[in-house]
Structure 1
Amino acid sequence: MSDFKPCIVVPVYDHEHAIGTVVAGLLRHGAPCILVDDGSGAACATVLDGLVLQHDGQVTLVRLAQNQGKGVAVLSGFRRAAELGYTHVLQIDADGQHETADVPKFLAQAAARPDAIVAGHPVYDESVPKVRLYGRYATHIWVWINTLSFDIKDSMCGFRVYPVAPVNALAARCPIGARMNFDTDILVRLFWDGLQVVNLPTRVCYPADGVSHFRMWSDNVRITWMHIKLFFGMLPRIPRLLARKGQVR
């Protein structure tokens, strides 16, 4: 489509050992990158400054003064993407767990379905922590309940493409999970807004630099509270969600 203009947004928090390789892998595919420094320490900040200089014109840096969480960082990238005139954002994590070679597949799907979300459906190797793998199924079940649908195969994968305008409109209208609850929260809410979801298998490993910012206790509490809020948000939407199930895709 002639007005399909994608960029890549990468939220970064102290991933100085992996981000250079991730950016190199992303830039091979021609889409410019917006790196969002979510209050990283000096070592990572220096690496990010170097990447901007090394890839002049291909990499833009948004810097948050304090760490505010993945959701805040990603939405900051969306705002900059809109300012720069991009229509779509490919979101990908900074730790190297996602397969950057799959970027063309994601962008091709997004170009073919510009009003949809292209959501990564992880294909794990043996590096995935079993507790994380099995724990995802609780979220899968809640998402199926809160959407009255099996359309979303995995709501936690941070590799996906969104149309920019609906995301910024949603963020302006209601709060979205600021930290590790972001990926699921925004996907369910965009589904409620009527966006279709295209599920795309993609290989995932854990992680290249050994840095994980998932906090077992605090993030699980946030995710549980998010599911509760989504459930009560789903209840008044039941008629519309049921009507949607009957529509021909």
Structure 2
Amino acid sequence: MTLSDIRCCIIIPTYNNQHTLRRVIDGVLEYSNGEHIIVINDGSTGETGEILLSYGSKIRVLTNAKNFGKGYSLRKGFNEAIRLGYDNAISIDSDGQHLPGDIPIFIEAASRNPGALLMGSRNMQQEGVPGKSSFGNKFSNFWFKFETGLTLPDTQTGFRLYPLGPLKEIKLFTTKFETEIEVIVKLAWKNVPVIPIHIRVIYDMNERVTHFRPFRDFTRISILNTWLVILTLLYYLPKRLLTAINKKGLWKMIREEAIKPEESNWSKAKSVGFGFFMGIVPIWGFQLLVGIPLSIYFKMNKVLFLTAANISIPPFIPFIIFGSYQFGGLFYKNGAQITSLDGLTLESIHVNLVQYFLGGTLLALAAGTIGFVATYLPLAIFRPSPKSL
């Protein structure tokens, strides 16, 4: 099969990658028959312009007046591909880490999965992969799973096949490296299938030039993820839950998640203990915002966690705050002396926050430990381990 069979073009954003650009374009030309290549020159200096001119009409070149960012260039490439009538677009980085020889893998996978987003999955454990790249990928994978409910091994790969139809309906706002995260999250929210496919990768530090600026770009990515998490909590997570409820029924879904016969007693007890801890720890307003991602990351039982975390429902809150003060008073002797719930006022809380936060944290640890033990011991006695089920 060829690119024409799936109505696909190849988008190559580039910025000052003169050492590897020619090799990438030459490799891509082997699979394009001199067509379907869109290169976006993102305000490059040096030899990039001359290199692109040398290909003449073999490639289509779009040039940004200045360096706007990879995301801006990708969006420009998407718009051009849509204007030209393509159904799909493969993006490939120009820094030489991706091998054009893997393009047929994308073509074949796209023919089997029309309309899917195909994500090239690199082996991030192989020798030569920069440590910051491996860490950044794990960080990105975690937030992608929280925001979409989907698990991907590599969310930061630049080698992808995008279905262009759904992109017509999506509004993208970012312009730098974070665009690659924004677009896959929003495609997943549109229920576009996301499929990882194995690709090769090369990290040649003598040739490769990266323009990722750790502080600035990591900050941009963090801000984007914060916004996406807010949207997830307010809309997309409830939407996913309602969809699941409609398919299975509420009680069936809760029962399946809570029981999980394959789940160990240790994991169930850990979920309950962590729920008690997060329900009491004095970060009011942020308990679930912090607790839910952590419960997902550590693969806890979400139903058991949320049930235990509801220890902080409104009728119990005064008792939790009072208990936090009393517990803190055992370790912090200079704090406010509150002997009853009647003495629990905003003024008394303000007198010494140190006592409250210390006591609340220690009380949360104690409650979490008690919840863990109280859950684990009965399960260990009366419930056989999953291996023997």
Normalising by structure 2, we get a TM-score of 0.58
Q: Which residue of 2 aligns with 1:227?
A: 225
Deviation at 1:73, TM superposition (A): 0.2
The one of 181, 184, 200 equivalent to 2:181 is: 184
The one of 36, 54, 64 equivalent to 1:50 is: 54
Q: Which residue of 2 aligns with 1:156?
A: 156
Contact kept, 8 Å, 1:95 with 1:207, in 2: the verdict is no
After superposing the two structures, state which structure 1 stretch, 42-51 or 5-14, moved more: 42-51
Deviation at 1:132, TM superposition (A): 1.8
The one of 34, 41, 44 equivalent to 2:45 is: 41
After superposing the two structures, state which structure 1 stretch, 25-34 or 210-219, moved more: 25-34
Give the secondary-structure state (helix, strand or coil) at the position aligned to 1:133: helix
The CA deviation string for residues 175-231 of structure 1, in whole angstroms up to 9 with x for no partner, is 2x3111111111011100110101101112224722110101101101111110110
User: 1:15 and 1:50 mapped to 2: Cα distance?
Assistant: 15
User: 1:244 and 1:107 mapped to 2: Cα distance?
Assistant: 32
Contact kept, 8 Å, 1:192 with 1:241, in 2: the verdict is no
Give the secondary-structure state (helix, strand or coil) at the position aligned to 2:169: helix
**Paired residue type of 2:157:** C
Bigger Cα Rg: 2
User: 1:211 and 1:119 mapped to 2: Cα distance?
Assistant: 22
- Name the Cα RMSD after superposition: 2.1
Q: Which residue of 2 aligns with 1:213?
A: 211
Q: Which residue of 2 aligns with 1:194?
A: 191
- Greater relative contact order (CA < 8 Å, ≥ 6 in sequence): 1
Deviation at 1:133, TM superposition (A): 0.9
The CA deviation string for residues 51-94 of structure 1, in whole angstroms up to 9 with x for no partner, is 2x1xx3x3100111111100110111111111222111000100
Listed as ranges, the gaps of 5+ residues in structure 1 are none
Give the secondary-structure state (helix, strand or coil) at the position aligned to 1:162: strand
Deviation at 1:140, TM superposition (A): 1.2
**Paired residue type of 2:129:** V
User: 2:69 matched to 1:69?
Assistant: yes
Q: Which residue of 1 aligns with 2:27?
A: 25
Deviation at 1:111, TM superposition (A): 2.0
After superposing the two structures, state which structure 1 stretch, 123-132 or 98-107, moved more: 123-132
User: 2:26 and 2:6 mapped to 1: Cα distance?
Assistant: 23
Give the secondary-structure state (helix, strand or coil) at the position aligned to 1:11: strand
Contact kept, 8 Å, 2:19 with 2:208, in 1: the verdict is no
Give the secondary-structure state (helix, strand or coil) at the position aligned to 1:36: strand
Normalising by structure 1, we get a TM-score of 0.89
Contact kept, 8 Å, 1:110 with 1:116, in 2: the verdict is yes
User: 2:108 matched to 1:108?
Assistant: yes
Deviation at 1:174, TM superposition (A): 4.3
Q: Which residue of 1 aligns with 2:10?
A: 8
**Paired residue type of 1:98:** H
Alpha carbons of 1:100 and 1:3: their partners in 2 closer, same or farther (altered >3 Å)?
closer
Q: Which residue of 2 aligns with 1:147?
A: 148
Q: Which residue of 2 aligns with 1:92?
A: 92
**Paired residue type of 2:78:** F
Contact kept, 8 Å, 2:178 with 2:224, in 1: the verdict is yes
Deviation at 1:244, TM superposition (A): 5.5
Aligned residue pairs, count: 240
Contact kept, 8 Å, 1:148 with 1:242, in 2: the verdict is no
Give the secondary-structure state (helix, strand or coil) at the position aligned to 2:47: helix
Listed as ranges, the gaps of 5+ residues in structure 2 are 248-389
The CA deviation string for residues 84-113 of structure 1, in whole angstroms up to 9 with x for no partner, is 221110001001101211100011111221
After superposing the two structures, state which structure 1 stretch, 208-217 or 16-25, moved more: 208-217
Contact kept, 8 Å, 2:6 with 2:88, in 1: the verdict is yes
User: 2:131 matched to 1:130?
Assistant: yes
Alpha carbons of 1:169 and 1:3: their partners in 2 closer, same or farther (altered >3 Å)?
farther
Deviation at 1:115, TM superposition (A): 1.0
Alpha carbons of 1:117 and 1:204: their partners in 2 closer, same or farther (altered >3 Å)?
same
Give the secondary-structure state (helix, strand or coil) at the position aligned to 2:200: strand
The CA deviation string for residues 123-158 of structure 1, in whole angstroms up to 9 with x for no partner, is 2431211122123211111111111232x3321100
**Paired residue type of 1:224:** S
Between Structure 1 and Structure 2, which shows a larger proportion of strand residues? Answer: 1
Give the secondary-structure state (helix, strand or coil) at the position aligned to 1:123: coil
